[in-house]
Structures are given as C-alpha cells and as structure tokens.
Amino acid sequence: MLIAGNWKMNLDMSTARQLAGSIRSSLEDPGPVEVVLCAPFVYLDAVYGLVHGSPISVGAQNMHAEDAGAYTGEISASMLRSVGCSHVILGHSERRQYFGETDKSVRDKVVQAVRHGLVPVVCVGELLDERDKGEAEAVVARQVRGALEGVAYPGRGKLVIAYEPVWAIGTGRTASPEQAQAMHAHIRTELSGLFSEGDAARIDILYGGSMKPANADDLLSQPDINGGLIGGASLEAAPFLSIVRAAMRADRP
C-alpha cells in the first residue's frame, strides 16, 4: 500500500514546512504502508529535510526527460535525486490537459526516471465524455501501453500506476469502489501483457480522485486498489493521516 499526497501548485514555503512537519510528528509507525509527499519543486529540499529519517518519502510532480542542458525552466531526474526525491508523478491528467503531455512524452520520462532510480507514479484516467461513450477502458489501456511499452520491468516497488478518472479529480465526485476496482483489474491485466503476471500482481495501482477520509476505507479495501494519490485532502495533516490509517487497516500481503 502506498499513500501519496499531491500538493499540486499550493502552499507557500512556510505552510509547506508546517504541513510536512505536522505529518511527520503525528504519523505513528505506518508499518508496510509507504507515505510519499509530492511537493512543488521549490519546496522539495525543505520537505526532505523535515521528513528525512522518518518513514515518509518525498516525490516531485513532474520532471524533464533529458539529463541536462539548455531546457530553461525544467528539472531533471538527477536534480530530483540530489534533493532527496524517491518518487515522481508522471503524466498527471493536469499535465496532459494543460501542458501538452502525450503518451510518448510520458514514456520518455518513465524511462529516464527508472534509469535514475526514481519510482515513476504513472497517471492514467479517462475524461467524463470518454466514460459516457463507453471508451474508458480503451483509453486507459492505451495510456498504460503508451507509457510502458518496451520499458523493462524495473523491479518490485519501482513502478507505480495511479488511476485517476479525470471527472473525479477535484470535483468531490468519486468513482464508486466497484467502478474503481473494475478499472484497476483492467489495468492489471494490461500490465500482465507488458510484464509477467507475477510482476503485474505486485505493482501498486493507486486510486486518485476526491479520495477523502469518508470514502478511503471502501476504496482501499478493494482487492486491486493498492493505495491512493490524494490531492485536496493532502493539504492538511488530519485528513491525510486519516487516509494513511485507512490504508494501514486495509493493508494485505
């Protein structure tokens, strides 16, 4: 199980530090549940300094696919590693929607992240219109294959998928546990076509989209839901920790 907070473009340095500090000080031993804080680039170093030595890891929300060079404004995988990041969110729907990310650009970034020992959290998910037209499974399958085709299995715990139906992000409208489970099972089938069945069974597939304390238990108890990627509810310590506790209750081998 993995619970990751995606802070998106929120908080200032002082509130980011407060949030990381209070999550660290209030988090009891999460046992097998991994906890990751995905902060804006400019806070990563500070957040890492605050959680270093605790069970909490730090992730970024994006990165560039090249090693270094004339890419003004961009951040590389090695830069992320050098400030203590272990994870990086790639292909979030907001990046696909507003910043022109494609399956191809996501794949290039996945390859680069893995090469540098970062765990890519690859986001997939359909638009409402695509779900209404009955295309959700095909869209998500295309995104999974697009991001991972030809990528060698990086090893247990080294690749994470997040299913985030776009219509559920920031809307307060959550996929039902049954809808989410059905899509997660479908994603796992796609993964077993790309890797082996055994490897696919062990890849964490997170659900994201209005996950909050009130619905976390139901979502996380589904057999193919292995954690959550949390937006709004990760911006305060109490709801985020309450979701981490739901994951601890739901954790299965």
Q: Which run of H or of E encompasses 227?
A: strand 227-230
Contact 125, 210 (CB under 8 A): no
Q: Rounded to the nearest whole angstrom, what is the least distance from the CB of residue 230 to ligand 13P in the complex?
A: 5
User: Closer CB to ligand 13P, residue 105 or residue 234?
Assistant: 234
Shortest spacing between CB 68 and ligand 13P, in angstroms:
28
Indicate whether 6 belongs to the interface with ligand 13P (CB under 6 A): yes
The closest of 152, 230, 239, 163 to 195, measured between CA atoms, is 152
The residue within the footprint of ligand 13P, chosen from 208, 216, 243, 247 (CB under 6 A), is 208
Angle (CA) 96 175 127, round 5°: 30
Contacts to ligand 13P from residues 214-253, by CB under 6 A = 229-233
The piece of 11-19, 25-33, 205-213, 237-245 that touches ligand 13P (CB under 6 A) is 205-213
Rounded CA-CA distance 137/134 in Å is 8
- Active-site hit among 126, 164, 186, 190: 164
164 is catalytic: yes
What is the longest distance spanned by two Cα atoms in the chain? 48
| Window 132-191: residues binding ligand 13P (CB under 6 A) | 164, 169-170
Nearest distance from C-beta of residue 150 to ligand 13P, angstroms: 26
Residues paired with 162 in a beta bridge: 123, 206
> Are the beta carbons of 180 and 224 closer than 8 angstroms?
no
Active-site residue identified among 64, 87, 92, 184: 92
Report the phi/psi class of residue 89: left, alpha or beta, with left for phi > 0 and alpha for psi in -120 to 50. beta
Q: Does 211 bind ligand 13P (CB under 6 A)?
A: yes
Asked if 149 is an active-site residue, the reply is no
Q: 102: which 2 tokens?
A: 């494609």
Active site residues: 92, 164
List residues binding ligand 13P (CB under 6 A). Answer: 6, 92, 164, 169-170, 208-211, 229-233
